[in-house]
Structure formats: structure tokens, C-alpha cells
């Protein structure tokens, strides 16, 4: 079975000791996104030999690396301010604990830990046995992230409980639903792009949630009315070839 997995960079000794220390140069790649292009640097690293070799795809996102450095520096600035006040409050802060070490009876900033964390700025690693190019592996994994984002939106919208699978059938069902969600999302994106539309998912879902229909029976008539469309809803309906219901429709009660 072919797979593409997101690897745990910090906890995998193979990644820390071999993959991230690989000296081969990275190749620049550009991915198209709704918010613009994303510049990535990608390379492939193999650990082991022959048929037992493990294949890793390493990507560097320079924008994410810059954000990671800024976030860490903000933590360090706060940590330095707290150290001047006293170190008792530091132990209970998980963000601070990552960058401090005991020095006698006091705490100090762990410079070695800072240097080690800097190795992971903007870095993500995939592990795969699929016979595809590094770029294809990155794009396929982005599809998985899109499905997960859709599930997060659905859970937030319908306030569903966490799902804990208890059987193989439930796991297969979840995988099928994930694939179906991706297929529907990609098809809707394709139809919209053919019409020159590039809607964002969350605003579109919010506007669709506001689209409601009500039926009223009065004086021998059944009146059906719907709310006004907002945002990109009308354009998306046109793009997929589905007609919106009339604002008001009447028919005899039967």
C-alpha cells in the first residue's frame, strides 16, 4: 500500500540526525494558492539502502520560517523580562519551559535549545513510499490538509463530538467520507474557477448557512419564501448549474 505521512520532525531520531543534516541542495518550487503563490524549497532524502530505504521529502517554507523565528523571539523577550522579576512563574508556563534550564538554584535561557529549535524553522517532512515526484507528494499531502480543514469547519458548524473509531468498518467509513469531501470540494473549486470565481471556504459556508427557506400555510395557500442571498452564494449556484428557489412561491394547500 502506498502512503504519504507527515513525519514528526522533533521526535524522530532519523530525521533529526540524518535527514536534517543532509547536505544535498534544495530545489525551489512555487505552489499556486488562493491567497497567492507559495515559495517552497524541496529535496528528497533516503535513509538506509536498497529496498529497505526510507524516503523522506523535506520542504522549507521561507515565509513560515520567518514567522517561526518571530514567534520564538517574542517568547524569548517575554522570558527575559520574567527572569528579571524572578523565575518562580516560569515553571508553570509551557512555552517558557522549552527554552530554560536549571543553573544551580536558578533558571537561565538554554542557548543550545534555541539553536536546536532554529533547525526546524519553516521545515516540514513527509515520509512516503509512493513512486511520485517530491512536488507531487507535497501537493497530495496538501489535499489531505484541505480535507482536514473541511472536517474542522464541519465540526465547528454542527458542533459534533470527537470521533473515536472502535472498528475497522468505522475507519473505512471515515476514510471514504474524507475522500468524498475532497472530491466534492475539488469539483466545486473546478466549476467555480471555470467561471472566474475564487470563493473562500469559510465565508462561503457562512453565507450558505444564512440561506434559509420557510413554508407558511394561510388562507388555503402554501407560501414558500427564502432569505436573500449574500456574498458569493448566487455566483456559486450559477457556476454549478443549480437554480436558486424563487424568493416567494405560492400554491394551493392540498
pLDDT (tens digit per residue) in 161-192 = 566 777 888 888 887 887 787 788 788 888 99
Which pLDDT score is estimated for 95?
A: 64
pLDDT per position as a tens digit, 122-153: 999 999 998 888 888 888 887 776 666 666 66
Q: Could you tell me whether strands 36-47 and 27-33 are parallel, antiparallel, or unpaired per DSSP bridges? A: antiparallel
Nearest of 2, 1, 244, 12 to residue 125 by alpha carbon: 12
Rounded distance, CA 199 to CA 237, Å? 12
150-160 residue pLDDT tens: 666 655 544 55
pLDDT value for 208: 87
Element (H, E) at 109: strand 106-109
Compute CA 94 distance to the chain's CA centroid, rounded to the nearest angstrom: 24
**Which is nearest to 27 in space by CA: 59, 64, 62, 66?**
59
Looking at per-residue pLDDT, the higher value among 85 and 12 belongs to 12
Q: What is the pLDDT of residues 11-33, one digit of tens each?
A: 889 998 999 999 999 988 877 66
Cell numbers representing residue 126 in the block: 513527509
Question: In DSSP terms, which residues pair with 37 in a beta bridge?
Answer: 32
Q: Say what the pLDDT of residue 191 is.
A: 92
Amino acid at each position: 500500500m502506498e502512503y504519504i505521512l507527515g513525519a514528526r520532525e522533533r521526535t524522530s531520531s532519523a530525521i533529526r540526525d540524518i535527514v536534517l543534516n543532509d547536505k544535498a541542495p534544495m530545489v525551489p518550487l512555487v505552489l499556486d494558492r488562493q491567497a497567492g503563490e507559495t515559495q517552497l524549497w524541496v529535496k528528497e532524502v533516503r535513509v538506509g539502502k536498497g529496498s529497505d530505504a526510507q524516503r523522506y521529502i523535506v520542504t522549507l517554507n521561507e515565509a513560515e520560517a520567518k514567522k517561526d523565528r518571530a514567534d520564538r523571539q517574542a517568547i524569548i523577550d517575554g522570558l527575559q523580562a520574567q527572569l528579571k522579576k524572578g523565575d518562580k512563574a516560569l515553571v508553570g508556563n509551557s512555552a517558557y519551559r522549552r527554552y530554560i534550564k536549571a543553573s544551580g538554584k536558578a533558571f537561565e535561557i538554554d542557548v543550545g535549545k534555541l539553536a536546536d529549535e532554529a533547525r526546524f524553522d519553516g521545515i516540514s517532512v513527509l515520509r512516503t513510499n509512493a513512486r511520485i515526484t517530491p512536488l507531487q507528494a507535497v501537493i497530495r499531502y496538501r489535499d489531505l490538509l484541505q480535507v482536514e480543514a473541511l472536517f474542522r469547519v464541519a465540526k465547528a458548524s454542527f458542533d459534533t463530538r470527537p470521533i473515536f473509531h472502535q472498528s475497522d468498518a468505522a475507519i473505512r467509513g471515515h476514510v471514504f467520507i474524507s475522500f468524498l469531501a475532497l472530491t466534492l470540494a475539488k469539483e466545486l473549486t473546478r466549476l467555480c474557477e471555470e467561471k472566474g470565481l475564487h470563493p473562500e471556504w469559510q465565508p462561503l459556508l457562512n453565507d450558505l448557512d444564512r440561506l434559509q427557506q420557510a413554508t407558511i400555510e394561510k388562507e388555503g395557500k402554501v407560501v414558500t419564501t427564502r432569505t436573500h442571498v449574500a456574498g458569493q452564494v448566487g455566483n456559486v449556484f450559477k457556476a454549478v448549474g443549480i437554480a436558486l428557489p424563487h424568493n416567494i412561491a405560492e400554491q394551493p394547500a392540498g
